[in-house]
Amino acid sequence: MLFFAVRCRPLPLSSSNRILLIIAHPDDETMFFSPTIRALVNAGHRIFVLCISNGNFYGKGKIRSRELFLAAKYLGISSSDVTCLDYDEFEDGDKWNRKNLSYIILRHIEVLSADVVISFDNYGISGHHNHISCFDALQTVYSIGAVPSDVQIFVLDSIPLFRKYIGIFDALFSFGRSPFFYMARFRDVAACWRAMFAHRSQLVWFRFLFIFFSRYVYMNSLRRISPLPLTPRNSIVKKFKFQ
């Protein structure tokens, strides 16, 4: 009944936006963002995916890249709109250079003429430092004013652990807490499951539990990114100069 009782609060977008989704690894798009992707695709927006790493930690980078293209297709994204990077400095699991990643993100925003950017928040859903690196780089280019003023940036809310795996029942906690909220429909959940099975190299036993019980399969809550205060701790952003 929750599928029908909970109303979505969509992002405030005009028609036919060009949306850039920034993820860290192949399968992030399915595991965390599928309700948002499906809602935006169904609304007629064009989604581009920028995947920073091909997930080559176990030497399966090429396989995982192919899986990403197939999963994106199942979610409604053209494979021609998916970019999966394969740079040594952005290896899966390594600490990523924020300045270099910031340049790459800004360049993709410009080249793709993106109107909207979506990525992880400051906790990165699971606390994975590669997820957090995506946020840190995006936060940096936003805070120094390098992103065009008409580009909207949204981040996916991280939630407490006890709520992550209660499936659709997290709607009771999530609805009303975030300004923007998407609840997947049955066919959207089916698309997510199909996309997850496209990531065959990642289908270890606990992934099966994830696709049935994770609230991120059923719903997404998002908010606008906030400017980063230029405190001594964050003084690195003062040194950034984009040409």
pLDDT of 242 reads 55
CATH superfamily, domain 15-239, is LmbE-like (3.40.50.10320)
DSSP calls for the chain: -HHHHSPPB-----SS-EEEEEESSTTHHHHTTHHHHHHHHHTT-EEEEEES---GGGS-HHHHHHHHHHHHHHHT--GGGEEE---GGG-TTSPPPHHHHHHHHHHHHHHTT-SEEEEE-TTHHHH-HHHHHHHHHHHHHHHTT-S-TT-EEEEEPP--HHHHTSGGGGHHHHTTTSSEEEE--HHHHHHHHHHHHH-GGG--HHHHHHHHH-HHHHEEEEEE--PPP--GGGGGGGG----
pLDDT of 165 reads 96
13-63: pLDDT as tens digits: 998 999 999 999 999 999 999 999 999 999 999 999 999 999 888 889 999
pLDDT of 228 reads 66
- Could you tell me the pTM of the whole model? 0.92
160-210: pLDDT as tens digits: 999 999 999 999 898 778 899 999 999 999 999 999 999 999 998 888 999
